[in-house]
Amino acid sequence: MVKVIAKFFVKEDKVEEFLKLASVLVEESRKETGCVSYNLLQDVSNPQTLIMVEEWESAKILKTHMASAHFTSIIPEMSLLQFQKEEITVCKNVF
Amino acid sequence: MVKVIAKFFVKEDKVEEFLKLASVLVEESRKETGCVSYNLLQDVSNPQTLIMVEEWESAKILKTHMASAHFTSIIPEMSLLQFQKEEITVCKNVF
């Protein structure tokens, strides 16, 4: 199992647009084989901080996801809506 | 539901010690009423980056957790093992 924590820093006036894009990415990603979970969270004290928390069956499947049409088309658009580059952390479960 | 992403930045020679403390915190926290999930992740490319991903039934229950004996005794010890202050993000689920 591989987990991904992707933290996005969205411009104040771009949150709605970001959420629209993210909803498509979430919907399409959840359909992928080997996607265990794929959720978008929002910081309760700062709506501009959006965090994608993902679980994938393997690193190989995550790689397939990152080459998918929806990922490669949507992520660049989401990235443009930020004031600071996203932080992507690929993790393993410790306990 | 409330989710917490807590990112820790552990000194290179303190990772083992941190993991020992964290394992007790995880074990005790999972016993708490209203704890939906409580997992420690480790960055696959940087073992000094440890991320606690937590799910709690409500903000009120999270507050109780943060006042618990295990939280109030262990977190300060874990914090001392860092080269940089932890980043705690309390989140709601968007989708």
Query: Under 8 Å CB-to-CB from A31, ≥6 apart: which residues?
Result: none
Question: What does the alpha-carbon distance between residue B34 and residue B30 come to, in Å, rounded to a whole number?
Answer: 9
Please give, rounded to a whole number of angstroms, the shortest distance from the CA of B5 to a CA of chain A. Answer: 9
How high is the pLDDT of residue B66? 97
Question: What does the alpha-carbon distance between residue B44 and residue A7 come to, in Å, rounded to a whole number?
Answer: 16
Portion 46-65 of B in contact with A at CB < 8 A: 49-51, 53
Q: Is B88 on the interface with A (CB under 8 A)?
A: no
Q: Do A51 and B5 touch (CB under 8 A)?
A: yes
Mind listing the domains of chain B with CATH numbers? 2-91 (3.30.70.100)
How high is the pLDDT of residue B88? 96
Residue B40 and residue B50 in contact, taking contact as beta carbons nearer than 8 Å = yes
Q: How many CA atoms lie within 13 A of A46 on its CB side?
A: 12
Portion 67-86 of A in contact with B at CB < 8 A: none
Query: For residue B21, which amino acid is it?
Result: L
Query: Which ipTM did the prediction report?
Result: 0.93
DSSP B22: H
Q: Which helix (H) or strand (E) holds B89?
A: strand B82-93
pLDDT band of residue B12 (cuts 50, 70, 90) is very high
For residues A76-90, one letter each, b for 16 or more C-beta atoms within 10 angstroms of the residue's C-beta and e for the rest, the string is eebeebbeeebeebb
Cα B62 to Cα A20, B15, B81, distances in angstroms: 29, 26, 24
Q: What is the pLDDT of residues B20-40, one digit of tens each?
A: 999 999 999 999 999 999 999
Identify any residues that bridge with B37 across adjacent strands, giving them in sequence order: B55
pLDDT band of residue A66 (cuts 50, 70, 90) is very high
Residue B6 and residue B75 in contact, taking contact as beta carbons nearer than 8 Å = no
Q: Is A93 on the interface with B (CB under 8 A)?
A: yes
Q: Do B90 and A45 touch (CB under 8 A)?
A: yes
How high is the pLDDT of residue A77? 98
Coil/strand/helix, residue A30? helix
Query: Under 8 Å CB-to-CB from A34, ≥6 apart: which residues?
Result: A56, A57, A58, A61, A64
Number of helices (H), then strands (E), belonging to chain B: the values are 3, 4
